[in-house]
Amino acid sequence: MTTMRSKMETQIKDIVEQAEKKLPSGNGTMYSRREGIQSLSVSPLQDYIPIVGEEKIEKLEKLAHKLRGVKILEVNSTGTGGGVAEMLYSQVPFLNALGLEDEWKVMRGTEPFFRVTKTIHNLLQGKKGILTLDMTRTYYNTLKENADLYSKDFRDYEPDIVIVHDPQPLGLARYLKKKGQKWLWRFHIDVDVETLEANPALWEFITFWANFYDAAIFSGVHYVVDCWPLQKYIIPPFIDPLSNKNKELTQNEITPVLEKYEIDQNIPILAQIGRFDPWKGIDLTIHAYRIARNEEKCQLIIAGNMATDDPEGEIVFTQICEKTKDDPDIHIIKLSNDREVNALEVNALQRAARVILQPSIKEGFGLVITEAMWKRKPVITREVGAIPIQVTSGETGFFVTSAKKAARKIIYLLRNPKEAELVGEKAHEYVRQHFLMPDRVADYLRIANYFVRGKLDTDSIISYHPWFKISKRKG
């Protein structure tokens, strides 16, 4: 095994040295006070006080005050679609509102590059296959070109802390990290050590780049790869309760969206909303709906948009349209890529639904579940990934293992609206306690404070959340 890994590492280094692929121009800036790019915004800090409490906001402001002058940079692979972009839409302007300087850049990529990174994503989630040398060559060439693109901007900005999200931009640390900087890798994917160990090329690929980082942030303790020689933090994702996607809506704001997509408001709505992705369990949702409608009148909405870094989205969308074309009560909606239009329409569709389904096969966290829970909706899902961090079956949602069981739960909830309402209220409160932006941004600031003010051993595993059972997993 050691000899195989040494050979792979040599091959990787050879490929890295030959990186020459050209990419589109532009530096991918999504938000930068320095550059005058500030199209993103959040509600005033005081507006969060009725939701999370005055004490939490005061503590957050004190944490931020300690870090005045610290520069942060966020890097990911898409500004459109997916949970990472959804969090950064609010997190970046929120940190700036707290008096810190946080910039956001989206790396550049070609279609071949995103096909490779989607393959990497699928392999990390357990799909069978191999990471070939041609794939690694495409990846490294693209990362090298991005590093060349960013190098001047990094020199001008001089960030103290860089947070890199998911595997797509992972390789940037090797090229851009400067002395004194701290680089954190935020890992959002549903992965486990066993999957990595079963695929030596994948293991070497991830480990090679992880070694250039000072810390990794995981969504749940069961994702922690203990053998990596860097600090590990456990911080779940979050939603912004006051964003257009999650704020309260009136019926007068919901109705036009339903009318736009010709959805009958008098028929109970089931909905699955999110990316068109083979891991999202859309087939189970369709099957469950078809069983349930035989006993209870209902209709199904499947709505989502296309993440720019996911080339499989159009394929899945086309397949779903073909499977459902003969059923007028199934509405397949490709939502706008305009961020504000998308947010308001998702909000309206979720609030119009009686039941939300998200039976993912793999799920790094599932912010669409968090969003639905915040809107007091009963969610039917699977017990996979980090979903159990959010859902306690029978309390804040329901776990199912098959379409038949999902259908029975749909029928039960449609026939027992009071029970559905009770579950929805518990779900809302659980999200309020654990998965709102002010609390989780405070976690990020604590990490920043560790890096700026103190030291930790490289084998540290830190969780700020007492509801997580900490148990180390050896790699």
User: CA nearest 84: which of 367, 385, 302, 276?
Assistant: 367
What is the three-state SS of 355-421?
EEEECCCCCCCCHHHHHHHHCCCCEEECCCCCHHHHCCECCCEEECCCHHHHHHHHHHHHHCHHHHH
Amino acid 26: pLDDT: 61
Cα gap 222→114, rounded to integer Å: 27
The third-level CATH classification (topology) of the domain covering 251-434 is: Rossmann fold (3.40.50)
User: CA nearest 15: which of 139, 174, 120, 167?
Assistant: 139
Query: How many angstroms from the chain centroid is the CA of residue 357?
Result: 18
Amino acid 428: pLDDT: 98
Query: Is pLDDT at 189 greater than 90 in this prediction?
Result: no
| Mean pLDDT, the chain, whole residue set | 89
Q: Decide which of 380 and 191 is more confident.
A: 380
Amino acid 19: pLDDT: 38
Domain ranges of the chain: 2-238+437-463, 251-434
Cα gap 357→359, rounded to integer Å: 6
Give residues with Cβ within 8 angstroms of 262, minimum separation 6: 331
The third-level CATH classification (topology) of the domain covering 2-238+437-463 is: Rossmann fold (3.40.50)
Do the domains spanning 2-238+437-463 and 251-434 agree at the CATH topology level?
yes
User: In this predicted model, what pLDDT tens digit does every residue of 142-170 receive, in sequence order?
Assistant: 999 999 988 888 889 999 999 999 999 99
What percentage of the chain reaches a pLDDT higher than 90?
Answer: 68
Query: Is pLDDT at 460 greater than 60 in this prediction?
Result: no
Per-residue pLDDT band for 457 (boundaries 50, 70, 90) equals: low
Cut 0.75: pTM above it: yes
User: In this predicted model, what pLDDT tens digit does every residue of 270-282 receive, in sequence order?
Assistant: 999 998 988 999 9
Q: Find which of 77-81, 109-113, 350-354, 450-454 is predicted with most confidence, using mean pLDDT.
A: 350-354
Would the CA dihedral through 111, 115, 120, 124 be positive or negative?
positive
Mean pLDDT, residues 25-29: 70
